[in-house]
Copies of this chain bind each other. A is one copy, B any other.
Amino acid sequence: MQSQKQYIYSVILHAPPHITAAQLLQLCRREKADLAMGTVYRNLSALCEEGKLRCIETPGIPAIYDTTLTPHEHIICRRCGSVRDVQLPFALDSLLTEAAGEELTDYSLTMGCICPSCRARAENEK
């Protein structure tokens, strides 16, 4: 039998580009009804450590797993929760390292917005 890790990886590759562990579990369970939450988390962590996934942790909301490995940041709609990639036209980590005056082990950045469609909906409701 195919390992759950491989299976989970194949599912996430064909899923929307930003997905939470719970959403992924739901997707997987369509085919494998007895897949356990713990297994999903364990394997997602493993895949992150292998460098096959990125995990975006943002305060207050569930972690989002991302299959895009090239450097980019994220903007999330505070109303509907949708996530969009943002390419910065400069090397943020160098700027931060310089400003901090010491080596960084990591940094975490998330931007918040009200996305265009939520904004439009809000307009309509006025």
Contact between chains at A112 and B116 (CB < 8 Å): no
- What number of A residues sit within 8 Å (CB to CB) of B? 32
Chain B residues, CB < 8 A from A96: 73, 86, 88, 111
Chain A at the B interface: SS class: mixed
Contact between chains at A108 and B105 (CB < 8 Å): no
Contact A113-B108, Cβ < 8 Å, known A59-B57, A59-B58, A95-B90? no
Chain B residues, CB < 8 A from A57: 59-60
Bound form: Cα–Cα A100–B10 in Å: 30
Q: Residues on A close to B: CB < 8 A?
A: 57-60, 63, 73, 75, 78, 86-90, 95-96, 99-100, 102-116
